[in-house]
């Protein structure tokens, strides 16, 4: 049985030790992060009646885990829906931290790949097939 590369699907290629890498451009990750911060800023602008700049500042400081504590949501804990807002804020933060970690990992992989290619072109690293 003679197999050609065209006859193999992605699972067969992975079994043969050849990886199929998909890279995500860095600007896509930055757009995702900026969109998530902007969406959170609009959410907190409505919920907490902050202006957009203060809401954006809160979202950035919170997701970057700096957390100065100068702006805190839920200062009106007497409202009937404050506990629901607190739970949703916690979910927003948990999802945002995982999204941030994923985007940073994708950006790191992209930068490592570009550095590897530059190193190969300069002759500092050997290419994958063993030649310089």
29/35 Cα distance (integer angstroms): 10
For the chain, the C-alpha Rg in angstroms (whole number) is 23
pLDDT at 21 over 60: yes
**For domain 20-122, which CATH number applies: 1.20.120.160, 1.10.287.70, 3.40.30.10, 1.10.3720.10?**
1.10.287.70
Q: Which helix (H) or strand (E) holds 60?
A: helix 52-63
pTM for the full model? 0.76
pLDDT at 1 over 60: no
How does pLDDT run across 79-101, given as a tens digit for each residue?
A: 667 788 888 999 999 999 999 99
């Amino acid at each position: 049985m003679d197999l050609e590369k065209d006859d193999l699907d992605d699972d067969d290629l992975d079994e043969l030790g050849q990886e199929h890498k998909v890279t995500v451009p860095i600007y896509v990750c930055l757009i995702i992060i900026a969109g998530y911060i902007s969406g959170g800023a609009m959410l907190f602008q409505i919920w907490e009646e902050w202006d957009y700049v203060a809401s954006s500042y809160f979202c950035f400081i919170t997701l970057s885990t700096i957390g100065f504590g100068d702006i805190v949501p839920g200062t009106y804990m007497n409202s009937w829906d404050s506990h629901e807002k607190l739970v949703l804020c916690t979910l927003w933060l948990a999802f945002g931290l995982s999204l941030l970690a994923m985007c940073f990992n994708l950006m790191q992989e992209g930068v490592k790949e570009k550095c590897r290619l530059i190193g190969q072109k300069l002759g500092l690293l050997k290419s994958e097939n063993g030649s310089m």
